[in-house]
Amino acid sequence: MKLLKLLLVCSLFLAGILVNAQEKEANKNHSCLKCHGHTTFKYMNEDFGMEIKESMCANRMIDTLAYAQSNHGMFKCTDCHSPEYETFPHPGQLRMELMYACNDCHGGDPEYAKFHFEAIEEAFYESMHYNRSPDAFTCWSCHNPHTYKTQARVGENIIETVRYDNNICLSCHADVSKYELLTERENINILQSHDWLPNQELHFKSVRCIECHTQLSDSLLVSHVVMPRDSAIRECTSCHSANSHLMASLYRYKSLESRKGGGFLNAVILNDSYVIGANRNQYLNILSVVIFGLVLIGIFTHALIRILKRK
């Protein structure tokens, strides 16, 4: 009986430690997010003994839910930002802090080798984004470190992946204030520059901008060589053909994962979309040729008998 009591006390103690650890884990960023996770924040003006409430600058705000679900959600803010931020008011010189880029953490790490971060960096240096604004453009210009989630590898639903990835492009190309941060150029009207595309809305929902605007890469799942406007794909048959470009880009991961034909050519496209010319049912193809052949044979035989019986 004593032993049982002892065990009970021990297990309660252990459970207490675990709950405490979990709470600590959940609250690891509390001191930052109590201000940066909200639209307003409060602080005490010690000199005058007043509590001041102010609004949080929009681009300093963190979507706490998106952060927790993002690839970097397990990190403490001070893993990437200076620990000096823990004091308030934050010291002014911290504004000069340079942000880490992807390869500062991921470079040379065998655990992340499958993501090919080095190859991505090389591709990025070739992209017109980097070459037009080498000082302004970084990984974070497209991949928000506080919300970024790998999509192409996990996204079961291609339409979701398309929406997520296109929103990355649109975060600048549909938002003048962010666009102006990176370039002096006049904003591009995407709807106008794509007015040649039939069923524009359907195309925008079904394929990613990068399908046509990046150079395909053999080693990378998602190409990072964003090309200048003149080099973008404008040929319908690049996607609308049996040898569809989409199989090497949007559907690449799915096609690598699933080689099953299912009777359909480029079958992986089917669950999410239909690309005229790219997916055809092989059985229906054969059946149509057989039926058409039989009709022609029937006509030919009938005509032949007519000729023979004419006299």
Partner 1 sequence: MADEKLYLYPIWIRIWHWLNAVFFIVLLLTGISMQYSNPDNPFLISFELSVQLHNIFGILISINYLIFIIGNLFTSNGKQYKMKTKGLFKRLYDQSVFYLFGMFKKQDPPFDISVENKFNPLQRFIYSTAMYIGFPIIIASGFALLFPEIIIPQIFGLSGILITALIHVIIGFILSLFLFIHIYVCTIGASISSNFKSMITGWH
Q: How many residues does the chain have?
A: 311
Smallest distance, partner 1 to C-beta of residue 151, A: 19
- Is residue 211 involved in binding partner 1 (CB under 8 A)? no
Using CB under 8 A as the binding rule, whether residue 260 contacts partner 1 is answered as no
Residue 117's CB is within 10 A of a number of other CB atoms, namely: 19
Q: 264 φ, ψ to 5°?
A: -110, 140
Q: Of 58-66, 113-121, 170-178, 196-204, which segment contacts partner 1 by CB under 8 A?
A: 196-204
> For 167, what's the count of Cα atoms within 13 Å in the CB-facing half-sphere?
12
Listing DSSP states for 233-269 in one string gives ---GGGTSSTT-GGGGTTTHHHHHH----TTBTTGGG
Could you give the CA distance from residue 66 to residue 73 in angstroms, rounded to a whole number?
A: 8
Nearer to partner 1, 84 or 160 (CB): 160
Size of the site for partner 1 (CB under 8 A): 34
From candidates 43, 125, 283, 292, binder to partner 1 by CB under 8 A: 292
Q: Kindly calculate the radius of gyration of the chain based on its CA atoms and give it in whole angstroms.
A: 29
Cα distance between residue 71 and residue 102, in whole Å: 12
The rounded distance, in Å, linking the Cα atoms of 106 and 126 is 20
**Shortest distance, position 13 Cβ to partner 1, whole Å:** 50
191 binds partner 1 (CB under 8 A): no
User: Per-residue DSSP letters for 46-95?
Assistant: TTTTEEEEEEPPGGG---HHHHHHSTTTTS-HHHHS-GGGGSSSPPGGGG
Q: How far is the CB of 247 from partner 1 (least distance, A)?
A: 14
Which of 253, 263, 303, 298 has the alpha carbon at shortest distance from 284?
263
Query: Considering only residues 19, 216, 286, 295, which one is a binding residue for partner 1 as defined by CB under 8 A?
Result: 295
Shortest distance (Å) from residue 291 CB to partner 1:
7
Verify binding: residue 270, partner 1, rule CB under 8 A.
yes
Q: Should residue 271 be labelled a site residue for partner 1 when binding is judged by CB under 8 A? A: yes
Site map 144..183 versus partner 1, x via CB under 8 A? ----------------------------------------
Dihedral sign for Cα atoms in the order 86, 89, 94, 100: positive
**Is 225 or 278 the residue whose CB approaches partner 1 more closely?**
278
Nearest approach, Cβ of 188 to partner 1 (angstroms)? 23
Least spacing, CB of residue 244 vs partner 1, in Å? 9
- 286 is a site residue for partner 1 (CB under 8 A): no
Does 235 help bind partner 1 (rule: CB under 8 A)? yes
E strand intervals along the chain: 40-45, 50-55
Per CB under 8 A, residues contacting partner 1 are 198-199, 201-202, 235-237, 240-243, 270-274, 276-281, 284, 288, 291-292, 295-296, 299, 302-303, 305-306, 309
